[in-house]
Amino acid sequence: MRSRKIAAAVISAALLLSGAVLLVGDDVKQEMKTAEIQPYTVSVEVQEQLEKIAQDLVVDTDMTEQVASPTEDETSENTTETEQIQTYDTLPEETLRELISAAQTLTENYPDAIGWLILPKTNIQYPLMQGSNNDYYLHHAYDGSRLSAGSIFLDCRCEKHLLNGINMVYGHNMKNGTMLAGLAKFEDAEYFNAHRYGWLATPDCVYRLDFFSLAHADCNDAIYDGSQSMTSWMIRLRGLSGIYEPVSYSEDDRFISLSTCTSANGNDRTILTGRLVEIGGDTDE
């Protein structure tokens, strides 16, 4: 069994995002960098497949909720139905292989890359980076060139293979709608429910991201402190959440939070949180 590190990892790189919604001064350069990374992305076919699976998962979840509170006479029957509804604990072998291969190619060419972050039917499909500090990728592209939009990056104090219980990810809120600007759309409950599944492909495995919380916090908030117990962190997260779907968890579970600035002024942050569900690892050809 893969070992788990529940470590102190994430005391507020959110401070470094300084509360600003960045004005876009280098749109052309940003578009060029996006074009350069295209050869390393997953195919359109796989992207469409992930979208379809995410949609099916939403439908399955809604159906599960409808039978979540059966009457006494219906308990046995509905329990069986619920078990049948919960699907996609894995992906087709070819899909897993392509996702992992894309992540491997990405990390071979860009050593600071962790993998591909993909939120279907949003603008969020980017390499996930990690630097030796939490300053560098605020203003650098994945290839190390200077870029005001920066990159999406994992807190430098988090374990690279996502073995922490709490994994914080940061990115700018760009006025052109790129990077993590799309998190603002999750404020709408209907939108949240329709986009509550994402994917993270690494060179070793693929994770499904099961989103359950949309929260707001000050950049100094304890939610960014990964040294606390999972129970304390979850209690704090629930208190900060405008949208929250109750989840069961243990100290061995792993979660990922995507954090960005909420507005042009102040220290408010928007935080989308989901469970990391490992659904498949690398296999030999």
Predicted TM-score (pTM) of the model is 0.85
Q: pLDDT tens digits, residue range 112-158?
A: 999 999 999 999 999 999 999 999 999 999 999 999 999 999 999 99
CB-CB neighbours of 244 under 10 Å: 15
User: For 66-93, what is each residue's pLDDT tens digit?
Assistant: 444 434 343 333 333 333 334 457 788 9
Fill in the DSSP letter of residue 16. G
195: Cβ contacts below 8 Å, ≥ 6 apart = 54, 119, 120, 121, 122, 185, 186, 211
CA atoms within a 13 Å half-sphere pointing along the CA-CB vector of 281: 4
95 neighbors 46 (Cβ within 8 angstroms): yes
Q: Where exactly are the structural domains of the chain? A: 13-67+76-281
Question: How far is Cα 221 from Cα 117, in angstroms, rounded to an integer?
Answer: 25
Say which CATH superfamily domain 13-67+76-281 falls into. Answer: Sortase (2.40.260.10)
Distance of CA 32 to the CA centre of its chain: 24
Cβ neighbours for 38, distance < 8 A, ≥ 6 positions apart = none
Per-residue pLDDT tens digits for 164-221: 999 999 999 998 999 999 999 999 999 999 999 999 999 999 999 999 999 999 988 9
Predicted pLDDT of residue 264: 59
pLDDT of residue 255: 97
